[in-house]
Amino acid sequence: MTTSKEAQQRSNIHHGDIVKIELKKDQRSGKLTEGKVKDILTNSSFHPHGIKVRLEDGSVGRVQQIVS
């Protein structure tokens, strides 16, 4: 599992990766949702809060950890 610093770089995230994201509604609680990356929504190569992705189940959030 990688740290959140690596989750800030778009080049470290690929379609099909298993990641843990923070949903907008869970920002204050720190709850993470795990799933497989379907789409990468952030266009820039770096984002300080994590790269925004859409999971296969439709959830959208910022990557906090890369599982595989």
Average pLDDT along the chain, 68 residues, taken 10 residues at a time: 80 96 92 97 95 97 93
What pLDDT score was predicted for residue 30? 86
What pLDDT score was predicted for residue 28? 86
What pLDDT score was predicted for residue 3? 57
Domains identified in the chain, total number: 1
Q: Please give the residue range of the domain that contains residue 56.
A: 4-66
> How many other C-beta atoms lie within 10 A of the C-beta of residue 65?
18
Residue pair 52/42 in contact (Cβ under 8 Å)? The answer is yes
| Residue carrying structure tokens 């610093």 | 5
What pLDDT score was predicted for residue 2? 54
What pLDDT score was predicted for residue 5? 87
CATH number reported for the structural domain that contains residue 48 in this entry: 2.30.30
